[in-house]
Amino acid sequence: MSTSNAKPVDSSCTLLSIADIPFGRGCSIAIGASQASPAIRPPRPALHLCRDPLRPPNNSPSPDSPKQSRHLQPISRMPEGAPGVRVLESSTVAPPPGSVPESSLSHTFFDIGWLYSGPVQRVFFYPFPHPTSYFLDSVLPPLKSALSSTLREFFPLAGKIRLTPGSDTKYEIHYTEGDSVSFTVAEHDGDFGQLSGSHAREYTGLVPLIPQLPDPDDGGRKVMAVQVTLFPNRGVVVAVTVHHAACDGSSSTRFVSSWACRTAGKEKVAPAPPFFDRSSVPNPNDLYTKFFNSLASDAQSIESMMIQFAPPDAVVGTVTLKSDDIRKLKEAVSSEANSFRCSTILVVYAYAWVCLVKARAYDEDKTVHFAFPGNCRERLQPPLPAEYFGNCVGGYFAEAKAGDLAGEDGFQTAARIIGEAIERFKAGPVKDAEKWPEKYQEIGLQQPLSVAGSPRFKVYDVDFGWGRPAKVDMPSITWVGAISVSESRDEQGAVEIGLVLSKPEMESFAAHFSNDLKLF
């Protein structure tokens, strides 16, 4: 099924970033249960490797579970023994019956590199001073109804990733009547204010809030899971997990925004419908096959990389570059910016990279890496609309000696190196695409800084009718050293940077982040 709903290209969407590095390297696969918290069971790895990586190990069938209804099936994915958390409802939500014909959406070379990667996870915290009974009776029904309606447009998110019938290498998202999204409602006795703050807090506190993708079955791997967690009389948390091989952050945030608008009765301001036509997506030099072969040949290494968890003392925290900070950082590199554009996202990347290098106190001669994806939609020939659903990001790289970044002019050096990498991306977004797998494999074990999110996603505008979020987190940056970026909730032009680090590294990063700003 394809559509021709092309829209004018959104020229503002130039760069977006995803935390997980494709081709199986540097992935934040597990969402990090701490060994120091035995009550929370570590989630299973996101993908089991076998001939078809979307099937269970050893091609063993999944346990049979009789369907209660075509659109309502029991699902239990809550971490066992999570203290103070109770599952109130485990069900599924599907598009309205008969609203979507059986459809398949082929993977492109942009998609296949994410086949083994961890999911994209976003957690939205909302103040909600009402009891659980009010939410269940008055809020939950329209929330689920709006989700069903939104899945009619974003039907691939209700489908499954599978091998295309008759092929050993071609993958697709397949939707058939009755396919659905797992939907969990839970109640939490914890401190909503503690969990939704920007201060450093234990990462394990987020784990019970995050939905897990169900295990693959003979039909393939489900694409999305949703969990709503209630903090009675205090708040509500909406968390969405999306398999990265289905789509990138641009597509997944458009979905969440559309769902929120429908729930709030603001359909007229919802994002434009997704665009699915793959005919304009190039495949130069048969990149799909080359990327797939790279995945297959590296399967053994990928498997070892997939068993990664957050460190026992991991904390999650958020720092903010205020608009005045960003102005000063831009001024500091203005004299260097002859060969590149000094944008907000550039100085955010550069400053975060330098602070992380200093926090880790690398040897001066160590080569440190920065990897960022760029949104290729508007830069392909012909360009794709901003509404294109799927992955459409390329991999781009910067590197430097740690001593150069930690020195007196380290920020200016980082800005120049990243700026020149961005200019190379603009000049030819898929020019060096054949080298992406090799480059990812080269740097994947060297703790490169990677990035998730974008200030352009406007995650703080996601309003289900309860007001703006108090906080938005991305737990899928679990891989230590990744950061997330978003617009600030409280100040126009400011940028939030989210991190998951060991406690000592977080303290060191925060100190450098705060103190070094005084130098500009």
Q: How far apart (Å, rounded) are the C-alpha atoms in residues 441 and 34?
A: 27
From the list 48, 107, 174, 244, the catalytic residue is 244
pLDDT category at 433 given cuts 50, 70, 90 is confident
Q: Taking Cα atoms as reference points, which of 392, 399, 394 lies closest to residue 435?
A: 394
Q: What is the mean pLDDT of residues 479-504?
A: 90
Is the residue at 31 inside a domain? no
Is the residue at 59 inside a domain? no
- Please tell me whether the peptide bond between 475 and the residue prior to it is cis, using omega within 30 degrees of 0: no
Q: Pick from 7-11, 61-65, 114-118, 463-467 the range whose average pLDDT is largest.
A: 463-467
Pair 184, 325 in one domain = no
What per-residue confidence (pLDDT) applies to 271? 95
Q: What is the mean pLDDT of residues 422-439?
A: 88
Pair 386, 263 in one domain = no
What per-residue confidence (pLDDT) applies to 465? 97
- Is the pLDDT at 335 greater than 50? The verdict is yes
Pair 331, 266 in one domain = no
Pair 193, 77 in one domain = yes
Is the residue at 233 inside a domain? yes
Q: What is the mean pLDDT of residues 495-500?
A: 96
Pair 361, 456 in one domain = yes
Sign, CA torsion 305/309/310/312: negative
Neighbours of 341 (CB within 10 A): 11
Report percent pLDDT > 90 for the chain: 67
Q: What is the mean pLDDT of residues 148-154?
A: 99
- Is the pLDDT at 8 greater than 50? The verdict is no
- Is the pLDDT at 22 greater than 80? The verdict is no
Q: Which residues constitute the domain of residue 267?
A: 72-198+206-274
Between 301 and 455, residue with greater pLDDT: 455
Q: Which of 38-52, 122-136, 388-402 has the lowest mean pLDDT?
A: 38-52
Pair 355, 241 in one domain = no
Q: How far apart (Å, rounded) are the C-alpha atoms in residues 470 and 465?
A: 13
In the chain, the number of structural domains is: 2
Which 3 state secondary structure label does DSSP give 168? coil
Residue at a domain's end among 274, 291, 323: 274
What per-residue confidence (pLDDT) applies to 243? 96
Q: How far apart (Å, rounded) are the C-alpha atoms in residues 22 and 109?
A: 11
Q: What is the mean pLDDT of residues 380-392?
A: 96
- Is the pLDDT at 497 greater than 70? The verdict is yes
What per-residue confidence (pLDDT) applies to 396? 86
> What per-residue string of b and e applies to 145-163 under the rule 16 or more CB within 10 Å gives b?
ebbbbbbebbbbbbbbbbb
Determine contact, residues 333/343, Cβ cutoff 8 Å: no
What per-residue confidence (pLDDT) applies to 79? 52
Pair 495, 396 in one domain = yes
95 φ, ψ (degrees, to nearest 5): -60, 155
Pair 264, 323 in one domain = no
- Is the pLDDT at 104 greater than 80? The verdict is yes
Is the residue at 36 inside a domain? no
Is the residue at 404 inside a domain? yes
- Based on the residue annotation, tell me whether 48 is a catalytic residue of this protein: no
Determine contact, residues 500/478, Cβ cutoff 8 Å: yes
Between 207 and 17, residue with greater pLDDT: 207
* Helix H or strand E segment including 369: strand 367-375
Residue 238 identity (one-letter amino acid): V
What per-residue confidence (pLDDT) applies to 299? 55
Q: How far apart (Å, rounded) are the C-alpha atoms in residues 10 and 458?
A: 14
Q: How far apart (Å, rounded) are the C-alpha atoms in residues 366 and 321?
A: 27
Q: Pick from 9-23, 62-76, 120-134, 471-485 the range whose average pLDDT is largest.
A: 120-134
Q: How far is CA 340 from CA 65, 416, 422, in A?
A: 57, 8, 8
Give the torsion through C-alpha atoms of 229, 232, 236, 242, to 10 deg.
0
pLDDT category at 373 given cuts 50, 70, 90 is confident
- Is the pLDDT at 30 greater than 80? The verdict is no
Determine contact, residues 136/186, Cβ cutoff 8 Å: no
Q: 97: which 2 tokens?
A: 């019956």
Q: How far apart (Å, rounded) are the C-alpha atoms in residues 227 and 134?
A: 18
Q: What is the mean pLDDT of residues 214-230?
A: 95
Pair 371, 474 in one domain = yes
pLDDT category at 296 given cuts 50, 70, 90 is confident
The residues, any chain, with a CB within 8 Å of residue 519's CB and separated by 6 or more, are none
Is the residue at 284 inside a domain? no
Q: Residue 145 is part of a domain; what is its CATH number?
A: 3.30.559.10
Q: What is the mean pLDDT of residues 349-368?
A: 96
Query: What tens digit of pLDDT does each residue of 54-85 get?
Result: 543 333 333 333 332 222 232 334 555 577 89
- Is the pLDDT at 305 greater than 50? The verdict is no
From the list 191, 215, 277, 463, the catalytic residue is 463
Polymer length of the chain: 520
Pair 351, 488 in one domain = yes
Q: What is the mean pLDDT of residues 413-432?
A: 92
What per-residue confidence (pLDDT) applies to 438? 82
What is the average pLDDT score of the chain? 84
Q: What is the mean pLDDT of residues 351-372?
A: 95
Pair 248, 367 in one domain = no
Pair 87, 171 in one domain = yes
Q: How far apart (Å, rounded) are the C-alpha atoms in residues 166 and 144?
A: 36
Q: Which of 60-74, 181-195, 370-384 has the lowest mean pLDDT?
A: 60-74
Is the residue at 26 inside a domain? no
Q: Which of 28-32, 180-184, 195-199, 413-417 has the lowest mean pLDDT?
A: 28-32
Q: Which residues are registered as beta bridge partners of 85? A: 188
481: left (phi over 0), alpha (psi -120 to 50) or beta: left
Q: 141: which 2 tokens?
A: 């029904």
Is the residue at 45 inside a domain? no
- Based on the residue annotation, tell me whether 463 is a catalytic residue of this protein: yes
Please count the helices (runs of H) and the strands (runs of E) in the chain.
13, 17
| Distance in angstroms between the alpha carbons of the first and the last residue of the chain | 54
Name the DSSP class of 157: G
Q: How far apart (Å, rounded) are the C-alpha atoms in residues 10 and 16?
A: 13
What per-residue confidence (pLDDT) applies to 421? 93
